[in-house]
Amino acid sequence: MTPGFELQISGLTLWRVPLTSHETYFMSSGKACATVDSMVLRVDTVQGTSGWGEVCPIPNYLPAYARGVAPALENLASVLLGANPVGVEALMAACRKHLLGHPYVHSLIDIALWDLTGKACGVPVYTLLGGLQSAELPLYHSITCIAPDDMVRIAAEAQLAGIRQFQVKLGADNCWETDVARLRMVREAVGKGPLVYGDWNCGATRLDATRVARAVADLDIMLEQPCPTLEECAAVRSASGLPMKIDENAHDTASLLNAYELGCMDAVALKLSKFGGISLLRQARDLCLHVGAKMCIEDTWGSDIATAAALHVAASTPPQAVLNVCDLSGYVSPRLDASGPTRNAGRISPPTGPGLGVTPNPDELGEPVLALAA
Ligand code: 0XW
Ligand code: MG
């Protein structure tokens, strides 16, 4: 291999960083984000470079567990230590063969390897992914599921700050009439034009979701992941005629194809930790381009590393196929990198430095929970 690209992994260091939401974020079925653990990984090389990864699972949200990251990483140390991180996909294939499943663990490793590869090449990750197609990306604002009046206030504040896409969380109180009020009132408050969509995070029955959907079917509204299965989501879509975004049910190629065949994937959330990192997210991105699904490119939760990684994928995607992105780091404290990408007039830009282009502040990391050396 060309000198400069012949690196060797010498160490893996892992931190647990609690991230506190500025405003507790309520979803259906008792799911909430108040303080949530994010896992931050540094992969060091013998040559003196480092790459950063992050994964921040929300409890009860997906099969992913922050405290499972350390033992899974110990299990993968024999594959990673001594290996060349450049040319990420071969090494990640070996990781997936060694530890089946656990895509959220593969995700933070994969992100760190893309960071190292970008630094070795002296280019941002979006250049490695095919090149910059959007220097600025549209953000949505996610509105915690509280009283409809308060959700209207949050939507109006976000709109004043330039946001044009509003995700209205539904189902936290199991009252379908209140969900109707949430959607109608936010739709009315933001006026014609902006995108408004209601996300149940799998928490509705088919009957309740259909009642809500039919009660707002005269409005310009999109629905998101009302029920736990794709088949139920497809049934709600066909009963209401409203467009549908799939989130929790889309996590690999097979599930994307299934959603497409069921005709319920007008839009889809591509989250790094559902798929297993940047490598698999870009495959999903390319499949969505083929089947014509608009993409929300993001992660479950997290701070500056997860946010930057998703922005690199989104920035290298044809703009007409990008529904939106999420400034996860803007919902929580602390910021891992205070100079990381930040919301500006409803839009956000990927970092432009080599690799991911973000570096955590050591003061925010504290003591590591795990340190492994070759
Ligand atoms: C992943 N969330 C819980 C956080 C993001 O802001 C959006 C939301 C979702 O489920 O789409
Ligand atoms: Mg969602």
Please report which ligand is nearest the Cα atom of 224: 2
Q: Are 357 and 351 in contact (CB under 8 A)?
A: yes
Regarding the beta carbon of 300 and ligand 1, being less than 6 Å apart is answered yes
Residue whose Cα lies nearest atom 3 of ligand 1: it is: 300
pLDDT at 273: 98
Q: How far apart are CA 205 and CA 109, in angstroms?
A: 36
In angstroms, the Cα distances linking 356 to 116, 117, 333, 336 are: 9, 10, 20, 13
pLDDT by residue for the chain (374 residues), tens only, comes to 576 789 999 999 999 999 999 999 999 999 999 999 999 999 999 999 999 999 999 999 999 999 999 999 999 999 999 999 998 999 999 999 999 999 999 999 999 999 999 999 999 999 999 999 999 999 999 999 999 999 999 999 999 999 999 999 999 999 999 999 999 999 999 999 999 999 999 999 999 999 999 999 999 999 999 999 999 999 999 999 999 999 999 999 999 999 999 999 999 999 999 999 999 999 999 999 999 999 999 999 999 999 999 999 999 999 999 999 999 999 999 999 999 999 999 999 999 999 999 999 999 999 999 999 99
pLDDT at 4: 77
- Start-to-end C-alpha separation, the chain: 22
CATH superfamily, domain at 3-122+361-373: Enolase-like, N-terminal domain (3.30.390.10)
The residues, ordered by sequence, that sit 6+ positions from 328 with a Cβ below 8 Å of its Cβ are: 56, 298, 299, 301, 302, 303, 306, 307, 310
Q: Which amino acid is at 126?
A: Y
Q: Are 38 and 66 in contact (CB under 8 A)?
A: yes
pTM of this prediction?
0.98
Q: Are 113 and 88 in contact (CB under 8 A)?
A: yes
Q: Tell me how crowded residue 220 is: count the other CB atoms within 10 A of its CB.
A: 13
pLDDT at 358: 98
Q: How far apart are CA 248 and CA 233, in angstroms?
A: 11
Ligand 1 centroid to residue 35 C-alpha, Å: 15
**Bridging pattern class, strands 222-224 and 195-199:** parallel
Q: Locate tokens 């995070």: which residue?
A: 201
Which of 300, 323, 329 is the best mutation target for the ligand 1 pocket, counting ligand atoms within 8 Å of the beta carbon and taking the most? Answer: 300
Q: What is the Cα gyration radius of the chain? A: 20
Tokens of residue 359, six digits: 């570096």
Tokens of residue 67, six digits: 């405290």
Closest CA to 18 of 39, 37, 40, 32: 37
Q: Are 178 and 198 in contact (CB under 8 A)?
A: no
pLDDT at 6: 93
Please write the tens of the pLDDT for every residue from 8-56. 999 999 999 999 999 999 999 999 999 999 999 999 999 999 999 999 9
Ligand 2 centroid to residue 354 C-alpha, Å: 31
What does CATH list as the number for 128-348? 3.20.20.120
Q: Output the DSSP codes for 189-210.
A: HH-SSSEEEEE-TT-S-HHHHH
Q: Tell me how crowded residue 207 is: count the other CB atoms within 10 A of its CB.
A: 12
**Which active-site residues does the annotation give?**
169, 271
DSSP H or E stretch at residue 142: strand 141-143
Domain ranges of the chain: 3-122+361-373, 128-348
Which of 199, 222, 268 is the best mutation target for the ligand 1 pocket, counting ligand atoms within 8 Å of the beta carbon and taking the most? Answer: 199
Please report which ligand is nearest the Cα atom of 299: 1
